[in-house]
Amino acid sequence: QVQLVESGGGVVQPGRSLRLSCAASGFSFRSYALHWVRQAPGKGLEWVAVISYDGSRINYADSVKGRFTISRDKSKNTLYLQMDSLRTEDTAVYYCARDSRTDAYNFDYFDFWGQGTLVTVSS
């Protein structure tokens, strides 16, 4: 079965960095685009970033552009989110989610989600 397991969250001071990981299993990792979606405490869902199935297309939300970097390692079936220059408003649960399409550069809905990892940015 499809599994997405996030890790790497924790408490970090403003201005510092953190790297999240998402280990994928149960499907053909190299065939699907993958996203990061976040949810601030008590708030709604916010799409953060996407990387295409082959890593050639990457998009970011304006709120994180220039500070976050999404990447993937097909040899490890793992998705990453490098978060630099963190701000208090980046505090959220970060989910990785699989895009519904295979082998495509257009991004759709999210058919599987991980359980999330909490990032708290606080001094």
Question: What are the residues binding another protein (CB under 8 A)?
Answer: 35, 44-47, 50, 59, 61-62, 95, 100, 107-116
Distance of CA 103 to the CA centre of its chain: 19
Q: For residue 49, give the amino acid letter.
A: A
Minimum distance, C-beta of residue 73 to another protein, in the bound complex (Å): 23
- Cβ 13 to another protein shortest distance, Å: 26
If phi over 0 gives left and psi between -120 and 50 gives alpha, with beta otherwise, what is residue 75? alpha
Q: How many CB atoms lie within 10 A of CB 30?
A: 13
| Rounded-to-integer distance, Cα 85 and Cα 112, Å | 29
**Shortest Å, Cβ 99 to another protein:** 9
Tell me whether residue 68 or residue 112 sits nearer to another protein (CB atom): 112
Our CB check for another protein shows the closer of 44 and 75 to be: 44
Nearer to another protein, 29 or 112 (CB): 112
Cβ 51 to another protein shortest distance, Å: 13
